[in-house]
Amino acid sequence: MSYALELTVNGVAHSLAVNGGRTLLTVLRDDLGLTGAKEGCDDSECGACMVLLGGRPVNSCSFLALQADRREVTTVEGLATSGALDSVQRAFVESGGIQCGYCTPGMLMSATALLAERQSPTADEVRAALAGNLCRCTGYQKIVQAVLVAAAELRGAPRDG
């Protein structure tokens, strides 16, 4: 049975008819063509599917699409503005926080949510915020450093180098 679903994704309103058992991840990927969020574990363990729902990080693989009805969803595709990377994306690239890239969208979304709440997180606070995201390449040190670089940039601190 299909149900009406209204979502605003990355600032664009969408009206869809979806089966009640579909996840937000499958709707984003299959119906809207937004493939940045990845299906890793399909069990809310790895964070590869992380998106922001009303500014809060959620694992879209286990979040029913209908639970997001009439809400604002931000995917990794929504971070860049007019083709320019945002501060967090740029810091990941420049700090070497991207290896194979599979975890990157989820890491970016969790980091974005953290930096929206805390302008000056400590390394331990960054690690705690990213705890729901697994990096298969074990690039955690560079990822934490990237988030700290992005935080400094967002605060207006001068960049090193």
Q: Residues 107, 133: one domain?
A: yes
Question: Would you state the structure tokens that stand for residue 21, as one six-digit string?
Answer: 């058992």
Q: Residues 94, 47: one domain?
A: no
Pairing, β 71-74 against β 2-9: parallel
Q: Of 131, 115, 102, 135, whose CA–CA distance to 36 is shortest?
A: 102
Residue that has been written with the tokens 């049975």 in this structure = 1
Please state the pTM of the whole predicted model. Answer: 0.93
Q: Residues 61-80: pLDDT tens digits?
A: 999 999 999 999 999 999 99
- Give the end of a domain, one of 43, 78, 113: 78
CATH number at residue 64: 3.10.20.30
Domains: count for the chain: 2
Q: Residues 51, 91: one domain?
A: no
Question: Would you state the structure tokens that stand for residue 29, as one six-digit string?
Answer: 């990927």
Please indicate, yes or no, if residue 68 is contained in any of the structural domains.
yes
Q: Residues 74, 114: one domain?
A: no
Domain that holds residue 45: 2-78
Q: Residues 8, 38: one domain?
A: yes
pLDDT at 159: 58
Give 10-residue mean pLDDT values along the chain (161 residues). 97 97 98 96 91 97 97 97 95 94 96 97 98 92 97 81 47
Cα dihedral 150/151/157/159 (nearest 10)? -20
- Give the end of a domain, one of 78, 99, 129: 78
Please indicate, yes or no, if residue 113 is contained in any of the structural domains.
yes
Q: Residues 72, 109: one domain?
A: no
- Give the end of a domain, one of 59, 78, 97: 78
